[in-house]
Amino acid sequence: MTYKCVVFDFDGTLADTEEKAFNIYNSLAKKYKYSTVTMEELQHIKNLHIKEIKEIVDIPFYKFPRAIRDGQKMMRKESSEIHAFAPDIHDFFTALRKETDHIGILTSNIKKTVSDFLVTYDISHEIEFIMCSALMSKSKKIKKVLRKHDIKPDEMLYIGDEVRDIEACQKAGVDVVAVKWGYNSPFALEKCKPTFMIDTIWDVIDIVRTNNKP
């Protein structure tokens, strides 16, 4: 098996946006009439599926997409202050480019926010594509990437930080790496049985090299 395409989630995987997302969430609570959360409650929420989270915050389902869009716009305004989890992310992608044919980002964030981040860290030239997806539609977008690049499911590796990332990959038949530093806790991720779990972004290269050996 050869991983010809390696695709990354953005928030919580490459970009440390948790605190900003937390503050944006609470700032929108009054407008959309849902419950705010404390930092202590956030630690509990990190163990939950997004469907369970929506029940806790009690936001009306019909308001959820609009709240997400408003939050993304607010995040966009702070894009210059979004930091990478790995300070050596430029070196990482330079090394990964030598190991695979395609590198992309599939995210529920907006493209402009991701593009600004790539420019900040001088890695735009290493990322072949940025694809945006609704929160619960990543499996469809994964299949779109497979078709576009004529890649078989077992030739793609996806790296994400949430339960929904794992579920989307399993639905699409794609191997998935769960990172331990993102939005969902390692406890929540392990329950969903990802293909791999990693402690640092550099572990991705070890996985790709091991699987791409002739």
pLDDT at residue 60 above 80?
no
pLDDT in tens, 27-42: 998 888 888 888 888 8
Report the pLDDT averaged over residues 102-119.
95
Residue in the block written with tokens 């993102």: 182
pTM to 2 decimal places: 0.91
- pLDDT band at 1; cut points 50, 70, 90: low
DSSP state of 37: -
- The per-residue pLDDT for 213 is 77
pLDDT at residue 56 above 90?
no
pLDDT at residue 129 above 90?
yes
- Decide which of 3.40.50.720, 3.30.360.10, 3.30.1280.10, 3.40.50.1000 is the CATH code for 5-16+82-211: 3.40.50.1000
The mean pLDDT value of the chain amounts to 92
Asked whether 123 and 56 are in contact (CB, 8 A), the reply is: no
- The per-residue pLDDT for 155 is 97
pLDDT at residue 50 above 90?
no
pLDDT at residue 200 above 70?
yes
